[in-house]
Structure 1
Amino acid sequence: METQSTTNKGGWKSIKYIIECLLASIIITVVVVSGNESFEKLASVSLVMNMTFYLRSNYNMNGIFLINVVTIWTGTSNISSLAGAYLSDAYIGKFLTLFFASIASLLGMGMMTLTAGVPHLRPPKCNDQLNCVQPEMWQLGLLYAALGLLSLGAGGLRPCGIAFGADQFDTTTTKGRKQLQSFFNWWYLSFTVALIVALTGVVYIQTNISWMIGFAIPTACLLSSVVIFLIGRHTYVIKKPEGSVFSDIAEVIVASIRKRRIPYESKYSFYQEKSGSKNPNLARTHRFKCLDKAAMIVDPTSELNANGVAKNRWRLCSMQQVEHLKCIIGILPIWVSGVGCMLVIDQQSTFGILQAIQMNRTIGSKFKIPPGWLSETAMITLSIWIFIYEGIYVLTLKKIFKREARLLTMAMRVRIGIIMSIFCMVTAGIIERKRRNSAINNHSYVAPMHIWWIIPQFVLSGLIEAFDNVAMMEFFTTRMPESMRTMAGAIFFVTLSISSYLNSLIVNIIHKLTGMNGRTPWLGGHDLNENRLDYYYYIIAGLGVLNLIYFTLVGSKYVTPAKVIGVEEKLKQVEDGGGGV
């Protein structure tokens, strides 16, 4: 039911149910102030942070196979966002998509708990680092099924979460627009602060106490999330699905190809279908004018019915459909730069953790730092930066200038994020070279070099997220109309997905090329000391330099909104039903 105009719904009172999860995950007995997507984030990130270590220590997976499983799973979890966005937009809406996705995540997390709790569901524990029994096919099948359910859940939660949150603000009012400006940073911050505290305990339990208990905790949190999400239902602004953008894209492409030979002349008007949505129509823009032909009315008699409605949407599309496709094409140049930055972040959850495993992790005589804790360094860095930027910097400028002031533009933040990605990989390469030499000189599998040495690369990874990821999320959402917010969320996570798949592809190519003619490959096996991970890091840094050049010369030009056609060229509407005349 459309409830946008309801004054007692939406706003920050709804957001608290959607994004807050901190106290529910670690202090259940005190208070429950939690939200749906954050619980999924707790479960998925606790797995991502420790999945490399879990598969290495419990499934005896070697380097390349391990990296492929982790990157393909994370990539699939993110690319499934497209399916979630389509389901939400075309059929059941954001609220139900979030609900069913939560159930899928709950089932997947429950199966992961079983793999940790039942010894027969995984191969025997290996005490020899080099000669271990590999998992059987049926054991891998069960593992893949659990990861598949988690991917399905993530596919529904991730694109709809931020879109559903943005729906709670009425952007037709000054207050709503101001709240939405800070929403993206605070959204990211709420996740991060919650995860820092929650995962400190969860990852420690998984690594040092029990994997089963460590998986059972996020499973219980996911169960709680379903209940809490439903409790907040009365406060939500719930919008009806208005159709899938995917269908619109296909129709515009086909219609524009069919009319490619028709000259672009002023005598033709454009078809503008009346919409039942309360969202404002998009104005026609100058960019990608070849697509405008899909909305050109060449022969009104054959293309429109008696009510002025298009007879065949594969031959005549509305100008709104055309502008939707233009919005997507317009963000692709920025999207490419985002993939490059996220490729660097991916390294920390895979090779960064493998580095930590082969370093001195002890504090005192007994305590060992869980490798997954290093990922929290990035989260802490992200939280500190966003707090400084939103809580101090922006507020101070507002007091000085008596208005909203954000001197760090979107383009500047993306460029800083790319530069940080280069520094991150160069730093990681230098530290890995030092770690490897330390282990070889000591003739040991684990280097005597302390784990603190790799903290800088995780700090830089957090700064990449703080600058690039937040800017990308804001860019995708603000450059899309309200009706496409779910698509914007999906595109953000598809960026993560492509970076994961690209990471896997690069790793496999380097492994194959460097291992030719009987040489020892740079990557692969159980022992990083036999690899040249530092060389791999330098290659990724080189790709970062190319990304910076590309963004400076190409991508940065697409950050500003497209120019709108003048008033005299605005679309005309058919008086009787929405067709252009």
Structure 2
Amino acid sequence: MLTLSSMLPTINPSECNDTTDLTACPQPQFQAVLFYFSLYLVAFAQGGHRPCVQALGADQFDENNPEECKARSSFFNWWNFGVYAASLATNLPLNYIQDNISWTFGFGIPWIIMAIGLAIFLLGTRFYRYHIIEDKNPFAKIWKAFVALISSWQRTSFATSRNGAGEALLPRASQHTRHSGYSQHESIDEVDGQGEEAKGLLQLFPIWATCLTSSVVLSQATTLFIKQASTLDRRIGTGFQVPPASLGSLTGISAIVFIPIYDRVIVPIARNFTGLLTGITMLQRIGTGISFSVIMMVVAALVEMKRLQTARDFGLVDMPDATIPMSTWWLLPLYVLNAIVFVLAFVGLQELFYDQVPNEMRSLGLALYASVSGIGEFFGGFLVFVIDKVTGSRGESWFSDNLNHAHLDYFYWLLAVLTFIQLGLYLYFARSYVHKKNVPIAL
């Protein structure tokens, strides 16, 4: 549909009767509707494709086999390696084709590649490992689990409210299960087991919430860091100047370099000390990533302070369009740290939310992970909006159009403090987290 929308004729002002009034030209409403509908369709497709394809890939490993369990942990690393590598390999040539040759070819090439990918995927359906879903409706199972948890609390409260009233415990539980949609033949152990499953799901939400600020930190690489780069010296050699938006590829390059180092060097070394097939636990990996996000914001604040001082030293504070004599490579550590945070914290979150939800809802668990990034970016946008309004009403905004008058360093220090607080909360919840099952991850 995107390819088709780019093939339709567009407005040519020379064909209008009055070239000074483009509103008199017929508007290609169908083309606009087709184009925007295509974009929303892409978002809809991604919402279904990304969590499900990751869940299907991880399902190909037997979690009860130590060697396959180790390989499954590596799967999430190499999955993201493939995503970053594919982005770098395709974005640059496609951007060139779209800008210099044709948008039709620019959209048509991904269309053909996706069609080939779909064909390859369908050819493999006979060979994939599938997990049998015991319940037809996994959401009903989750509802039963939460009802069982409430039932367990009620029975505990009932038992403690009576002196030696243990004999009344079984009839009350049985009566509750009959009225909650359970079979009379389901034992209290089964109900208690489902209650524990519900507790496990509830434990994931504090982990989810305490990673939102790190998502805000990651989003700076595609927003404020690029705006900073536009004010710096981006020359390479004598004639070439790096476009600010291209700096985002540094995150992908850093991730491509760091993932093999982590999976093939750091994990084996950690495995020798911990005796775990995964080197460190998923929660330790996420916590380490959050720690690096604190470091990233501290470094970002220091780099911005250096940029502002350089602008003052050369008398460029009131010249927003002037290039500050400071190399854009000062931002390189930020993009490297950005990649490390993602590989440690967010790839770790992918594995955690896949592993710790009921087997029937693993794709939903990965979708819940993805919502960390989405909601985190909304939170970051709201934070910028509020700070801009508050500081702008009192004088110069922290996000002034003239970055030499702005205070991005203050914003970065604020994010560092918020992320440090988030790290403390995460450690508190992670220490009390109980895994839903005992997977044989020890050597």
Aligned pairs (5 A) from 1:481-520: 481-516=358-393, 519-520=395-396
The one-letter code of the counterpart of 2:410 is Y
Q: Does 1:416 align with 2:288?
A: yes
8 Å CA contact 2:200, 2:436 repeated in 1? no
Partner SS state of residue 235, structure 1: coil
Q: 1:555 aligns with which of 403, 426, 429?
A: 429
Distance between the aligned counterparts of 2:219 and 2:41, measured in 1? 21
Match of 2:163 in 1: none
Over 3 Å counting, the alpha-carbon distance change for 1:171 and 1:503 in structure 2 is same
8 Å CA contact 1:204, 1:370 repeated in 2? no
Q: 1:326 aligns with which of 199, 202, 206?
A: 199
Deviation at 1:144, TM superposition (A): 5.4
Distance between the aligned counterparts of 1:299 and 1:440, measured in 2? 74
Q: Does 1:356 align with 2:229?
A: yes
Distance between the aligned counterparts of 1:319 and 1:188, measured in 2? 37
Match of 1:155 in 2: 47
8 Å CA contact 2:234, 2:242 repeated in 1? yes
Match of 1:131 in 2: none
Deviation at 1:366, TM superposition (A): 4.3
Which structure 2 segments of 5+ residues have no match?
13-26, 160-165, 439-443
8 Å CA contact 2:3, 2:108 repeated in 1? yes
Distance between the aligned counterparts of 1:440 and 1:118, measured in 2? 46
8 Å CA contact 1:270, 1:319 repeated in 2? no
Q: Does 1:541 align with 2:413?
A: no
The one-letter code of the counterpart of 1:148 is Y
Match of 1:221 in 2: 113
Match of 2:343 in 1: 466
8 Å CA contact 1:331, 1:558 repeated in 2? no
Identity of aligned residues (%): 28
8 Å CA contact 1:417, 1:464 repeated in 2? yes
8 Å CA contact 1:268, 1:297 repeated in 2? no
Deviation at 1:118, TM superposition (A): 7.3
| Residues 462-503 of structure 1, C-alpha deviations (whole Å, 9 max, x = no match) | 110122112222222222342231122112101112211111
Match of 2:331 in 1: 454
8 Å CA contact 1:343, 1:502 repeated in 2? yes
Deviation at 1:257, TM superposition (A): 6.1
Distance between the aligned counterparts of 1:227 and 1:451, measured in 2? 43
| Residues 95-148 of structure 1, C-alpha deviations (whole Å, 9 max, x = no match) | xxxxxxxxxxxx4x548x739x97759xxxxxxxxxxxxxx9x89977754442
Q: 1:383 aligns with which of 245, 249, 256?
A: 256
Distance between the aligned counterparts of 1:331 and 1:267, measured in 2? 35
Distance between the aligned counterparts of 2:241 and 2:334, measured in 1? 20
Deviation at 1:178, TM superposition (A): 3.5
Which structure 1 segments of 5+ residues have no match?
1-106, 122-135, 272-292, 311-316, 565-581
Distance between the aligned counterparts of 1:209 and 1:529, measured in 2? 38
8 Å CA contact 2:356, 2:436 repeated in 1? no
Deviation at 1:561, TM superposition (A): 2.0
Distance between the aligned counterparts of 2:273 and 2:423, measured in 1? 33
Deviation at 1:205, TM superposition (A): 5.4
Partner SS state of residue 297, structure 1: helix
Deviation at 1:506, TM superposition (A): 0.6
| Residues 512-560 of structure 1, C-alpha deviations (whole Å, 9 max, x = no match) | 111225x3322265x54453322222211121121122223x1231445
Match of 2:297 in 1: 425
Alignment RMSD (CA, Å): 4.0
Match of 1:282 in 2: none
The one-letter code of the counterpart of 2:412 is Y
8 Å CA contact 1:429, 1:538 repeated in 2? yes
The one-letter code of the counterpart of 2:382 is L
Match of 1:374 in 2: 247
Deviation at 1:214, TM superposition (A): 4.9
| Residues 380-439 of structure 1, C-alpha deviations (whole Å, 9 max, x = no match) | 2223222122223444677x7997655434343223212211221222233334445539
Over 3 Å counting, the alpha-carbon distance change for 1:555 and 1:301 in structure 2 is closer
Over 3 Å counting, the alpha-carbon distance change for 1:561 and 1:213 in structure 2 is same
Distance between the aligned counterparts of 1:433 and 1:538, measured in 2? 11
Partner SS state of residue 298, structure 1: helix
Partner SS state of residue 445, structure 1: coil
8 Å CA contact 2:274, 2:280 repeated in 1? no
The one-letter code of the counterpart of 1:420 is F
Distance between the aligned counterparts of 2:103 and 2:322, measured in 1? 23
Deviation at 1:157, TM superposition (A): 1.3
Match of 1:571 in 2: none
| Residues 37-76 of structure 1, C-alpha deviations (whole Å, 9 max, x = no match) | xxxxxxxxxxxxxxxxxxxxxxxxxxxxxxxxxxxxxxxx
TM-score normalised to structure 1 length: 0.60
Match of 1:521 in 2: 397
